[in-house]
Chains A and B, each alone.
Chain A
């Protein structure tokens, strides 16, 4: 059994997700600023002005911070790329995740730690040796089997392949999240059909739709039976995490900078427990099944083990969008917190809230907090069963709420469909 600690890395698309990742026990987070990252389309990207706060929050919580700067880079991007790296270094960001050689070279020239992005599709030991001139950590291509990952990790130790720090190169793999029909994201489909390049972070995800095959000679249209033939299910490794850790990898990465803080919190918490249990010797496949049930509650396209387990390709999604078993419904926003009596007050802006409801509160400082409304106080009318739009309502909560916090009700998707 490996004794070295595994680093669990979580996505942070915004401050809510960053806080959620920290709360859930991530060892490190990765995030993008401005448009030079693989989620350029996301409305919630950080800006350069946020770098200092991100670094500070991470430092306080002993979490490493990684800046993704991994799109293809044009000449007109060079000045911004350099400005972003300088700013990240000044702020105290731990490392830059890079793919383009211009980014790698500039970051190194500044003395900034570099991690090689999965966009470079590392699939063999010689490529690891090549990039070890520049980087201490490398993300492997998602298309490798457990055996191939192990061979690379063994090779690094056996041949003593070290990075600029003098330490052995650390291997990072994706442990959970969206998979793509292209080789590690190098896809042309979105650019071809919508002029919107995945390699500039602007993928429109048209692979996730349903397609027909047309016989051009006779005009027959064949709908591929209930399968979204270009949309793979999501990668999930928690049910064979012991085998994945035993390949010798150092970092487990969770995909999902475009997903919500509830996703980040749930997925990070499950993998945190699984990693800790593995090192305590209490990890079991039965526990893994219950973590998978928990993870099914947040955004997912169904789970499979990706290419790690050598399954035949063909684990396609059979629905459009998420298969999450729960859904969050916006209720209202934070209004006031009474710290002495630990009561949180919210303004209801949308759907009604009932005593007994399972709720989630998210916010830049709050991260993600889940609770059940044990009792409900509405306006000045005392205890009531229901609060409706326009009401000020209060219920007991151990954690302070802020006016920027949002209140959601969590409902089962099946229950929601029948009401």
Chain B
């Protein structure tokens, strides 16, 4: 299992996470920032637990993020 965390209020809406891991990220049409699909919000940090099979794509999303707000943690 992996935990993915996003500090959403710092997102600049560049769309790279969606390009890298479209199954886990989408762009909000409401505020133009990316949404961590199934993520739960705790004080501005959105978190979701996912299977290892999503690791590679989300590592790419984290690496591509220009404002470095996506973090992955192995459980």
- Among B13, B64, B66, point to the contact of A77 (Cβ < 8 A): B13
Question: What are the residues of chain A within 8 A of B31 when measuring CB–CB?
Answer: 34, 79-80
Given contacts A194-B66, A195-B66, contact A200 B32 (CB under 8 A): no
Q: Name, among A40, A76, A195, A202, the residue most crowded by chain B CB atoms within 10 Å (CB to CB).
A: A76
Question: What are the residues of chain A within 8 A of B65 when measuring CB–CB?
Answer: 195
C-alpha gap A195/B16 in the complex (Å):
9
For the complex, count residues of B whose C-beta is within 8 A of A. Answer: 17
Say yes or no: is B3 at the interface (Cβ < 8 Å to chain A).
Answer: no
Q: Which residue of B lies closest to A79 (CB)?
A: B29
Say yes or no: is A36 at the interface (Cβ < 8 Å to chain B).
Answer: yes
Q: Which residue of B lies closest to A203 (CB)?
A: B66
Q: Contact mask B3-25 → A, CB, 8 Å, 1/0?
A: 00000000111111000000000
Q: Contact mask A75-117 → B, CB, 8 Å, 1/0?
A: 0111111000000000000000000000000000000000000
Number of contact residues on A: which range applies? 20 to 34
- Among A35, A41, A194, A197, point to the contact of B32 (Cβ < 8 A): A35
C-alpha gap A80/B67 in the complex (Å):
20
- A79 and B33 contact, CB distance less than 8 A: no
C-alpha gap A80/B29 in the complex (Å):
7
State the majority secondary structure of interface residues on B.
Answer: loop
Question: What are the residues of chain B within 8 A of A40 when measuring CB–CB?
Answer: 12
Say yes or no: is A201 at the interface (Cβ < 8 Å to chain B).
Answer: yes
- A200 and B30 contact, CB distance less than 8 A: no
- B66 and A36 contact, CB distance less than 8 A: no
Interface residue ranges of B12-59 to A (CB < 8 Å)? 12-16, 27-33
Question: What are the residues of chain A within 8 A of B13 when measuring CB–CB?
Answer: 35-36, 74, 76-77, 80, 200
C-alpha gap A283/B29 in the complex (Å):
52
C-alpha gap A195/B20 in the complex (Å):
13
Interface residue ranges of A177-218 to B (CB < 8 Å)? 194-197, 200-202, 204
Q: Contact mask A33-51 → B, CB, 8 Å, 1/0?
A: 0111000110000000000
Q: Which residue of B lies closest to A73 (CB)?
A: B32
C-alpha gap A304/B31 in the complex (Å):
40
B22 to chain A, nearest CB (A): 13
Q: Name, among B13, B28, B33, B64, the residue most crowded by chain A CB atoms within 10 Å (CB to CB).
A: B13
C-alpha gap A204/B13 in the complex (Å):
16
Question: What are the residues of chain B within 8 A of A202 when measuring CB–CB?
Answer: 12, 14, 66-67
C-alpha gap A268/B64 in the complex (Å):
38
- B67 and A200 contact, CB distance less than 8 A: no
- Among B12, B16, B29, point to the contact of A35 (Cβ < 8 A): B12
Given contacts A196-B66, A196-B67, contact A77 B32 (CB under 8 A): yes
C-alpha gap A369/B50 in the complex (Å):
52
Q: Which residue of B lies closest to A43 (CB)?
A: B10
Known: A40-B12, A79-B30, A80-B31. 8 other contacts (CB 8 A): A36-B13, A41-B12, A78-B29, A79-B31, A80-B32, A81-B32, A197-B66, A201-B12
Closest 5 CB pairs of A and B: A196-B66, A76-B27, A80-B32, A77-B32, A40-B12
22 A-B residue contacts at CB 8 Å? A34-B31, A35-B11, A35-B13, A35-B32, A36-B13, A41-B12, A76-B13, A76-B27, A76-B28, A76-B29, A76-B32, A77-B13, A78-B29, A79-B29, A79-B31, A79-B32, A195-B16, A195-B66, A200-B13, A202-B12, A202-B14, A204-B66
Binding site for B on A (CB under 8 A): 34-36, 40-41, 74, 76-81, 194-197, 200-202, 204
Binding site for A on B (CB under 8 A): 11-16, 27-33, 64-67
